[in-house]
Amino acid sequence: MSEKRLRQPIVAVLGHVDHGKTTLLDRIRGTTVAMKEPGKITQHVGASLVPTEVIEKVTEPLKKLIPTVKLELPGLLFIDTPGHSIFSNLRKRGGAVADLAILVVDVMEGFQPQTIEAVEILKQRKVPFIVAANKIDKIPGWKSIENVPFLVSVRHQDKSVVEYLDNRIYEIMGSLAELGFDSDRFDRVKDYTRQLAIVPVSAKTGEGIPELLALLAGLAQRYMKGRLKYVEGPAKGVVMEVKEEPGYGTTLDTIIYDGIIRQGDVIVVGSLEGPIVTKVRALLLPEPLQEIRATKKFRVVDEVSAAAGVKIVAPNLENAVAGAPVFVVSDESQLEKVKEEVMKEIEDVLIETDKEGVVVKADTLGTLEALVQFLKSKDIPVRMAKVGPVTKRDVMEAMVSKRMNKEYGVILAFNVKVLPEAKELAEKEDIKIFVHDVIYKLIEDFENWVKELREQEKRKELEQLVRPGKLRILPGFVFRRSDPVIVGIEVLGGTLMPGYPLMKESGEKVGKILQIQDKGKSVKEVKAGQQVAISIKGRVMVGRHLFEGDVLYTDVPSSHAKLWLTKYKNELSEDERYVLNEIIKIKRKTDPLYGLAVGT
């Protein structure tokens, strides 16, 4: 084997629901089936290999149109299940197992929430990607030609149709720019290391698929050779799915991204309870497609080398989790080291602290990792992060957190169930549980809730503050002289509400507003310019303490004035601010620290 041998890049497909991920993968797989001799296709578990000879045949018509490179790659390994969830699980410490990705965007719809989420995850994991602007056949007036390169098809379209397409592409470029990416239609890209390529395709008609495959292979070969160097050592892989298989027990659908795994190898598998050390009983690949009459789903193989999707049969796999590493132990002396490595991969993701922070639960290690990283990037602290359903213990952790900081006394649950006893306790203790299957939505829901909570707290605090207000007792409108005083007034400035204490211009206190009545009806609030009747409770009497024509102010406590001057300075109207300044002048005559230090 030459030193230069490269392994197949692992390619994942991401994008918003219904934008055509599955159809695109089917089309790529279908191309392979159509172009290879029956029985010669190596089947993988959870992945499909597109061999170099197929890529070469498909991209043949491109040779006359754009510069293409001679392929040294043995092909491209596509992960069969599209979506960010499976992509998140194809993880390794500090990165992704997928080498490349296709971001599928419906050219008619443009970016949608999960498109943004996909880009964020790709960015987070530093995975290079190509954008497939899918469904070009739906562009009004587009005349499809099955299975030809986009560059051929586009020549047959009317000018206005091409313009329409370009406008849609500009929109996608705009959305990508918002997320920090420079991009362009692939045939206008000058530097593939700096700009993302957008390939117009139709998963339905096959238009543009040649360019998509050529670009993926070309990019991988040109810029990722170091990463794709084939290593003949012990295998490294990651669990895609833990599956019960009749006759085999618990098995692991695994993507091998490095080295070789053989039947009989000792492997270490990550689990939430600690490393599982076990021995490979069998390695299974699917039966070739053509064996229609095959009675079994799988065939047994002796060994598998990267990159590959394989089902591992071994004892004691019950506790394994998706997203966990599977490492082959080359010899006994390495066992402890490998165990440590495996646990490090897992411990990076699981969090358990006694600090304030949200409680995070997710269905797999990969999605948990993605979620925690998003939270970290938003400076939201995490108290606990675990895989599995929401339990009573989680609610209790959130209760502890809530005592330290109301905003973090919550549970964020991605794609997991909430156990009934957890739900019950959460309801009783008023612990909010957010559940969603789009990470970005989950965080958004939480952030909106925090905003609402802060708004509510603010409203509550504001309601308790005495606002600045100024009034004049109207001459001739004394309805009752005492106990309580009832007088007609005009609001000269600011706001008056029942319950507000009043003072005279001298600073002398004169009781509290009991009620405000406007044309016989009791009201909660009056503003500058209004003329109403108020009753005043306290030991005051018109003619002794108060006189017709007197000007009164609301007796704003010093601590309230301080808040009006700082935290809530934007919550006062202009005339309230004016009145507050007058109140401050009155108050500072006797209390120089009024509104500055906390006092009354």
493 is in an annotated binding site: no
β-sheet bridge partners, residue 254: 239, 310
* CA-wise closest residue to 564 among 492, 455, 461: 461
Residue 108 or 596 with smaller CB distance to ligand GDP: 108
Least distance CB 91 / ligand GDP (angstroms): 22
41 is in an annotated binding site: no
21 is in an annotated binding site: yes
20 is in an annotated binding site: yes
Q: Between helices 420-429 and 392-404, what is the axis angle to 10°? A: 20
3-state secondary structure of 555: coil
Least distance CB 11 / ligand GDP (angstroms): 15
Residue 18 or 347 with smaller CB distance to ligand GDP: 18
How many CB atoms are closer than 10 A to CB 456? 10
Q: Is 519 exposed, middle or buried (0-12, 13-18, 19+ CB in 10 A)?
A: exposed
557 is in an annotated binding site: no
What is the rounded CA–CA span in Å between residue 77 and residue 69? Answer: 19
What is the rounded CA–CA span in Å between residue 510 and residue 592? Answer: 21
Residue 132 or 584 with smaller CB distance to ligand GDP: 132
Q: Terminus-to-terminus CA distance in the chain, angstroms?
A: 85
Residue 137 or 575 with smaller CB distance to ligand GDP: 137
CB neighbour list of residue 53: distance below 8 Å, 6 or more residues apart: 35, 36
Residue 9 or 15 with smaller CB distance to ligand GDP: 15
3-state helix, strand, coil split of the chain in percent (to 5) is 35, 30, 35
Least distance CB 135 / ligand GDP (angstroms): 4
Residue 202 or 254 with smaller CB distance to ligand GDP: 202
Least distance CB 17 / ligand GDP (angstroms): 5
Residues in the chain: 600
What is the rounded CA–CA span in Å between residue 245 and residue 140? Answer: 48
Residues binding ligand GDP (CB under 6 A): 15, 17-23, 82, 134-135, 137-138, 202-204
The CB-nearest residue to ligand GDP is 20
* Contact indicator for 412, 358 with CB cutoff of 8 Å: yes
84 is in an annotated binding site: yes
* Contact indicator for 9, 220 with CB cutoff of 8 Å: yes
Least distance CB 434 / ligand GDP (angstroms): 24
Residue 15 or 259 with smaller CB distance to ligand GDP: 15
Which pair of structure tokens corresponds to residue 158?
Answer: 């009317």
81 is in an annotated binding site: yes
Least distance CB 134 / ligand GDP (angstroms): 5
Distances (CA, A) of 46 to 43, 73, 142, 290: 9, 21, 35, 18
* CA-wise closest residue to 19 among 104, 138, 112: 104
Least distance CB 459 / ligand GDP (angstroms): 42
DSSP notation for 149-201: -HHHHGGGS-HHHHHHHHHHHHHHHHHHHHTT--EEEGGG-S-TTTSEEEEE-
Strands 410-414 and 358-362: parallel
State which H helix or E strand residue 300 sits in: strand 298-301
What is the rounded CA–CA span in Å between residue 218 and residue 366? Answer: 29
Residue 26 or 166 with smaller CB distance to ligand GDP: 26
104 is in an annotated binding site: no
Residue 82 or 488 with smaller CB distance to ligand GDP: 82
Least distance CB 187 / ligand GDP (angstroms): 19
Residue 151 φ/ψ, nearest 5 degrees: -65, -25
Q: Is 85 exposed, middle or buried (0-12, 13-18, 19+ CB in 10 A)?
A: buried
Residue 143 or 376 with smaller CB distance to ligand GDP: 143
Least distance CB 204 / ligand GDP (angstroms): 3
Least distance CB 26 / ligand GDP (angstroms): 7
Detail the residues annotated as belonging to a binding site for GTP: 15-22, 80-84, 134-137
